[in-house]
C-alpha cells in the first residue's frame, strides 16, 4: 500500500465535501475547490467519521503513484479551504521594489521598465516593505491562496523575473531560500 494514499483525510467541522462521479468538490471558510480524480482511482466520503478515503484497483506501478498523488491533492484542498497557504517573498538589490496596480504586480528589479506579472483571481498579495533599503533590508511581500498549485505557480513566475544571482545575492527569492554565494575574482597586484 502507498503510505500516503492509505491514510484517510480528516475533514474538520465547517468543511463540506461533495462527490459526483469522479469529481470532488470541497467547500470551506476560505472558498471552494474542485478536482477531477483519475478514472481508475476511487474516492469515498464517510460522513460519520468525516473522513475521505482514496482507493486504488491494483498494485500496478501507475495505480500506486496515482493513489498517493490523488490523496495528497485532496488533503491540500482540505487544508486550503480551512487554513489557506502563504508564501513569503523577498527582493534584494539597491533600488528594487514592488507595488500592486489593479490586477497586476509591478516589479522594479533593475530593468529599464518595471516587469509586470498578472495576479491570478484566487491569490491575495500583501506588501510588507514596498522598497529595499540598501543591501540589508529587502522589499518583502507575501502571497496567499486556498489553491496550493496556483500559489506555487504564481510564486515561480514572480521569482523567474529576476532569479537571485550568486555573487551579491541580488534578485527575487523565497524568504527561507538559501543562496550559495560565490567569491568574486581576486585581483593580485603584479610587480
Segment 9-49, tens digit of pLDDT: 999 998 999 999 899 999 999 999 999 999 999 999 998 89
Given a cut of 60, whether residue 1 has pLDDT beyond it is no
Q: What is the mean pLDDT of residues 111-118?
A: 95
Given a cut of 90, whether residue 107 has pLDDT beyond it is yes
Select the more confidently predicted residue: 88 or 1.
Answer: 88
Given a cut of 60, whether residue 191 has pLDDT beyond it is no
Q: What is the pLDDT, as a whole number, of residue 190?
A: 58
Q: What is the mean pLDDT of residues 109-113?
A: 93
Q: What is the mean pLDDT of residues 81-110?
A: 94
Q: What is the pLDDT, as a whole number, of residue 169?
A: 87
Q: Would you list the domain boundaries of the chain?
A: 9-82, 85-174
Can you spell out the DSSP letters for 91-113? EESTT-EEEEETTEEEEESSSSS
Q: What is the pLDDT, as a whole number, of residue 134?
A: 82
pLDDT digits (tens, 9 = 90+) for 132-182: 988 889 999 999 999 999 999 999 999 999 999 999 889 999 998 888 989
Select the more confidently predicted residue: 176 or 186.
Answer: 176
According to DSSP, the residues that pair with 115 across neighbouring strands are 107
pLDDT digits (tens, 9 = 90+) for 56-70: 999 999 999 999 999
Task: Single out the residue of 133, 136, 28, 149 nearest to residue 87, CA to CA.
Answer: 149
Given a cut of 80, whether residue 188 has pLDDT beyond it is no
Can you spell out the DSSP letters for 37-85? --TT-EEEEETTTTEEEEE-SS--HHHHHHHHHHHHHHHHHHHHHHT-E
What is the 3 state secondary structure string of 72-91? HHHHHHHHHHHCCEEEEEEE
The pLDDT mean for the chain works out to 91
9-82 and 85-174 agree in CATH topology: yes
What backbone phi and psi angles, to 5 degrees, belong to 7? -75, 130
What is the topology classification, in CATH, of domain 9-82?
Answer: Outer Surface Protein A; domain 3 (3.90.930)
Q: What is the pLDDT, as a whole number, of residue 149?
A: 94
- CATH number 3.90.930.12 is the correct assignment for the domain at 85-174: yes
Given a cut of 90, whether residue 3 has pLDDT beyond it is no
Report how far residue 41's alpha carbon sits from residue 163's, in angstroms, rounded to the nearest whole number.
39
Amino acid at each position: 500500500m502507498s503510505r500516503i494514499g492509505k491514510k484517510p483525510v480528516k475533514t474538520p467541522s465547517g468543511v463540506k465535501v461533495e462527490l459526483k462521479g469522479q469529481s470532488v468538490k470541497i467547500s470551506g471558510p476560505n472558498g471552494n475547490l474542485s478536482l477531477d480524480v483519475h478514472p481508475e482511482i476511487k474516492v469515498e466520503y464517510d460522513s460519520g467519521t468525516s473522513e475521505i478515503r482514496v482507493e486504488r484497483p491494483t498494485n500496478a506501478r501507475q495505480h500506486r503513484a496515482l493513489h498517493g498523488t490523488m490523496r495528497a491533492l485532496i488533503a491540500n484542498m482540505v487544508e486550503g479551504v480551512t487554513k489557506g497557504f502563504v508564501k513569503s517573498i523577498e527582493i534584494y538589490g539597491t533600488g528594487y521594489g514592488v507595488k500592486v496596480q489593479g490586477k497586476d504586480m509591478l516589479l522594479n528589479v533593475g530593468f529599464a521598465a518595471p516587469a509586470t506579472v498578472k495576479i491570478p483571481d484566487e491569490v491575495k498579495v500583501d506588501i510588507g516593505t514596498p522598497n529595499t533599503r540598501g543591501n540589508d533590508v529587502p522589499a518583502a511581500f507575501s502571497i496567499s491562496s486556498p489553491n496550493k498549485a496556483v500559489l506555487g505557480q504564481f510564486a515561480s513566475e514572480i521569482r523567474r523575473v529576476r532569479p537571485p544571482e550568486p555573487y551579491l545575492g541580488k534578485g527575487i527569492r523565497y524568504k527561507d531560500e538559501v543562496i550559495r554565494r560565490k567569491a568574486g575574482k581576486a585581483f593580485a597586484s603584479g610587480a
